Amino acid sequence: GRGVGNTALTQRAPAGPVLAITPFNAPANLLAHKLAASFAAGNTTIVKPPPQAPASSTALVRLLLEAGMPVEAVQLLHGGGDVGAQLCAAPEIAVVSFTGGVTAGHAVAHAAGPKRVMLELGGNAATIVCEDADVAAAARVCARTGYSNSGQSCISVQRVYVQRDRFEEFADALTAEVKTLVVGDPLDPATDVGSMVDDDAAERVVRWTAEAAGQGARVAIGGTREGAVMAPTVVVAPPAEARVVRDEVFGALVTVLPYDDFDELLAECNRSSYGLQAGLFTRDVRRIITAWRELEVGGLVVNGSSNFRLDHVPFGGVKDSGIGRESPRWMIEDFTVTKTLLLKGLSIWGDQ
C-alpha cells in the first residue's frame, strides 16, 4: 500500500491566544479551569470577567501576575457584550471559550466567525426517580443540589420526574428536606441558600412560580423572596408548557412531575431545547444503559442528581447547551491543534 516505508507522527501544538469569557455564578472557579487548560496547552489568555461579578476574577489574575506570570501571558479586560464582541472578532484571537447564557453564547459564536469556539451554555436539567429508587435518599440529594448557589448553576436540578406510584411520597420527602435548608447570608458558612445575583433575577423566579400556580401547579413551599434572596421553592405537577418546566429557571426552584412509562419519559426529556446533564436514580442496569444511550445530554449521573461534575472528566452539552467539552483536562484538546509529520521513504525505527 501507499503507506509502506513511510512514517507518520503527530503532535499537539498551541492553538494560539485564547479568549476566556466567564459567568457570574462561579467566576473564579470557571476562570481557573480555562486558565489552567490554556496555559497547559502553551497559549496566552485574555480574560473578560462577568460585569455582574468582576472582583474575584480580577483578584485571581492579579495573584498570577504577582506570582511571576509574564504580563504577556495573561491579560484582563472589563466590559459588557460590546467589549466581548470586539474581542471575539479580533484577528489575534485563535480560540474563544465562553461560559454563560444561550443568547450571549449565540452572539459570541456569531462574532467569532470561523474561529474555534467552545460554548458551555444553559441547561434545564432533568433528574429521574424510578420506582426502585431510595426515595428518601433521592429527595435528600435533590434538595441539596437543587438549591446550592441558589439554583444558579447550569446543571442545577430543575425537573424531577418521579414514577407515579412514588410521586407523592417523593414530593412530600423533598418538601420536608427543603424545610431544613438554612436561608440567609451567603457569607455565613451555615447558610444553604443565599442570594441570587440581583433582585430582578429573584423577582423573575417569583413571577414564574405564580404563573405555574395559575396553570394548575401546586406550590408546596416557597414562591416568595426578600430582596435578592429567593425562598427555596418546590412546584408540584406543573403543566409541560409552564416556563418552570420549559425554560431554564436558573434559580432556587425545583419542579416535581409524575411519569408512567420510562421510555416515553426519555422522549419527553429530549423535547427540551437544552441537553447538558441529567440524573437517574435506579438499580436497573437496563434502564441505566437505555438512558445513557437515548437521552440527548452530554452527561448522565446515576444514583445522583444532574448537579454533579468531576474536573477530570469531559463536561458539556448538546443542542442549546453548547459545543465542546470543558474541564481542565478536556479543554486542552480544544486549546491545541494537531500537527502531522510525514516521513516518506524514511523510518525512524531503522530497518525493523
**What are residue 45's phi and psi, to 5 degrees?**
-140, 135
What's the whole-model pTM score?
A: 0.93
For residues 102 and 184, membership in a common domain is answered with no
The single-letter code of the amino acid at 304 is G
314 inside domain: no
Instruction: Give yes or no: 154 in active site.
Output: yes
Catalytic residue among 120, 177, 248, 326: 120
Q: What's the pLDDT score for residue 311? A: 87
Closest CA to 66 of 54, 74, 77: 74
309 inside domain: no
**What are residue 140's phi and psi, to 5 degrees?**
-65, -45
308 inside domain: no
For residues 134 and 243, membership in a common domain is answered with yes
Contact (Cβ atoms closer than 8 angstroms) between residue 32 and residue 4: no
311 inside domain: no
Instruction: Give yes or no: 177 in active site.
Output: no
For residues 108 and 145, membership in a common domain is answered with no
Separation of alpha carbons 112 and 103, rounded Å = 14
Separation of alpha carbons 206 and 36, rounded Å = 38
Q: 242 lies in which domain range?
A: 126-302
For residues 54 and 195, membership in a common domain is answered with no
349 inside domain: no
Separation of alpha carbons 61 and 55, rounded Å = 10
Q: How many residues does the chain have?
A: 352
Q: What's the pLDDT score for residue 3? A: 74
For residues 90 and 174, membership in a common domain is answered with no
Helix axes 135-146, 167-179, angle to 10 degrees: 50
Separation of alpha carbons 120 and 101, rounded Å = 8
For residues 272 and 143, membership in a common domain is answered with yes
Q: How many domains does the chain have?
A: 2
- State the residue for C-alpha cell 407515579: 164
Closest CA to 138 of 162, 164, 158: 162
C-alpha cell at 160: 424531577
Q: What's the pLDDT score for residue 351? A: 56
Closest CA to 296 of 265, 272, 312, 279: 272
Closest CA to 267 of 119, 172, 184, 161: 161
Question: Any idea what the CATH number is for the domain that residue 178 is in?
Answer: 3.40.309.10
For residues 215 and 293, membership in a common domain is answered with yes
198 inside domain: yes
Element (H, E) at 219: strand 218-221
Edge-to-edge strands of the sheet including 253-259? 218-221, 233-236, 253-259, 159-163, 126-129, 277-281, 299-302
Q: Can you spell out the DSSP letters for 88-120?
A: HH-TT--EEEEES-HHHHHHHHHHHTTSEEEEE
313 inside domain: no
For residues 93 and 192, membership in a common domain is answered with no
For residues 22 and 112, membership in a common domain is answered with yes
- Per residue of the chain (352 residues), give pLDDT as tens: 677 778 899 999 999 999 999 999 999 999 999 999 999 999 999 999 999 999 999 999 999 999 999 999 999 999 999 999 999 999 999 999 999 999 999 999 999 999 999 999 999 999 999 999 999 999 999 999 999 999 999 999 999 999 999 999 999 999 999 999 999 998 999 999 999 999 999 999 999 999 999 999 999 999 999 999 999 999 999 999 999 999 999 999 999 999 999 999 999 999 999 999 999 999 999 999 999 999 999 999 999 999 999 988 999 999 999 999 988 889 999 999 999 999 988 766 665 4
307 inside domain: no
Question: Any idea what the CATH number is for the domain that residue 44 is in?
Answer: 3.40.605.10
Catalytic residue among 130, 142, 154, 269: 154
For residues 93 and 176, membership in a common domain is answered with no
For residues 173 and 250, membership in a common domain is answered with yes
For residues 41 and 161, membership in a common domain is answered with no
In order of 162, 179, 224, 286, the CA distances from 208 in angstroms are 22, 21, 11, 36
